[in-house]
Structure 1
Amino acid sequence: MLVVDDTPDNLTLMHDLLRDTYRVKVANNGEKALVIANSVTPPDLILLDIMMPGIDGYEVCRRLQADPLTREIPVIFLTAKSEIEDEQTGLELGAVDYITKPISPPIVMARVKTQLTLKSARDFLKDKNTYLEDQVVRRTEEVVAIQNVTIMVMASLAETRDTDTGNHILRTQNYVKSLAQHLKSHPRFADYLTDSNINMLFKSAPLHDIGKVGIPDHILQKPGPLTAEEFEIMKTHTILGFDAITHAEQSLGIDVEFLTTAKEIARSHQEKWDGSGYPDGLAGDLIPISARLMALADVYDALISRRVYKEPMPHEKAILIIQEGRGKHFDPDVVDAFVEINEDFRLISQRYGD
């Protein structure tokens, strides 16, 4: 309990009244009161006089209310100012009660007890809310972690059947993120490439080839180029992946943001800017942005990686081939972004090398 009054007799009176029930501190001016209120052991309640030299009680109350560290401390004005306007001012400033002098000790004790009871209830609810908020954060983090692990497990299972790809999923998801970060301020992409969507892209990218689990081993693991007929079967991995993710989403009964992005990538990452890709022959801006980014990331990684039927290509040559695909295979602005940050791609490929 903090009692603030510039008159020694009043301080003695209140100290004697309260000391058998509460631990009491006193201050004979507003400046000292603010120091005590901001100490490591702030009071649970302040009994505050108004008419004091220096800063008056009204100003003390204003400053207490303005400071996040003290605004929750209830203030009861204890004053000789008895006009209705004075009381109204005090309550408007944030005081919880207003008692006029001369005081009635039983009334003061009763009203102090009431305000401390209310403060205790508020503190309990605040602590409980904080606990519940912490639990929500913890559970949300658990859900996100499970989501991330599930994605990586699904993607890794697909990749284990394709022995040539190695760390392909790690590289491509980081390529996609790097491209997205670079394009987020571009007028054509700014609306879509929010921080939230970039995070979804990063999470979803590993599922781009999930449909390969449905491709027969003799095609998927063939130690050489595919025949035309085999390639037609290989192309179905886009639809197989899309259908698998769609089925999973339907089983949940709700739309899931990262699965929506995963569906786009799985189905459309083999589409080409000029409309010559598959499975739907989409062209230009009809191809989802997520799939356009994935397309370039996927091709770059295929070019620089070793396969049973080819040696890895130097980074510089891969850049030239992707530039040749500008406006044909790839969105021109995505190619330009890739060229500008191509060194990031090189570093990612080294960091997650096979």
Structure 2
Amino acid sequence: MSATAFEMHMARTGGVEVLQARQVTLPPPGPGQARVAIEAAGVAFADIVMRTGLYPGVKAPVTPGYDFVGRIEALGAGVESLHVGQRVAALTVTGSYATRRNIDARWLVAAPEAAPAEALVAGVLNGLTAWQMFHRVAGAVAGEWVLVHGAAGGVGGLLLDLARRAGVRAIGTASAGKKAEVEAKGGVHVDYRTEPVAARAVALSGGGVVAAFDHVGGPHLKTASIAALRPGGTAVLYGGYDATKGGKARPAAMLKMLAADRLSALKLFSQSQGVVGYNVTSWRDARPEAYRQDLAQVLALIGEGAIQPTIAKVLPLREAGEAQALLQSAKLAGKIVLRP
């Protein structure tokens, strides 16, 4: 049967005002699909980049929403591993600022019953990103040091959690006002606004970190991440915040980012260092089994209370514009979540 859904849709690009409520009729889920009633949707910086028309491959009109947690209402033909009423989560890229939606069942992962929906949804985009970068890309082991930029943010905070669980020491950059959030998760705080980050990281770690997680890009990748590495270390680039700061294109920063891409292969070789890019959607599409395994592991840890995502604020779905404005302000620590 068809179903009615309410969603926050953008017919064009622009400011937060382009996010408008609308009602849509969903057809029955097609073959290989499921219809899910959404309990919580995450608010991501990628949503803001989409809203301003800068996200590759996504153009208006579109309903944003990179991830969700919800319950299956109906299943299409050929879906056998899931059942109606089951709690699930998914990385969706778009479409989850809604009360319900249809989705390919292959992206659904079972979610724990006991955990709050807002904690679980913080483990989808943010948690999966942190888990795969830490465990599959960086490979830090107990006793080593890592550098986490934006350590009071959604991904950064979970990287601190994962490091602590693995016995890895973490240096976390954040503004002075977010020092307590970094230290509460076991990180050694460095104020990126007033301290030389790379030099401090090298000094604290006794020679350099084995991995640096960088969401900023541009010159920052060289001066604050690669410069902090020990021989054999890896810089993991997973964003280009500097070029789209505040959700707006910054041409000068984009040019700097392109110039900064010219890394010395000989220098990296001589130090056995590496620079690798990570994109959560590319990993999901190229390695779907790893996506399902890793997301299930993250959700299980949240369900057990072993890792605890920091929730900055929970807002009604209708206030999606306000939620994005709050994220752009960079004044809150942790994940912002929408609840239908």
Structure with higher RCO (Cα < 8 A, 6+ apart) = 2
Same fold (TM over 0.5): no
- The two structures have a TM-score, normalised by structure 2, of 0.25
- More strand per residue: 2
- The two structures have a TM-score, normalised by structure 1, of 0.24
- More helix per residue: 1
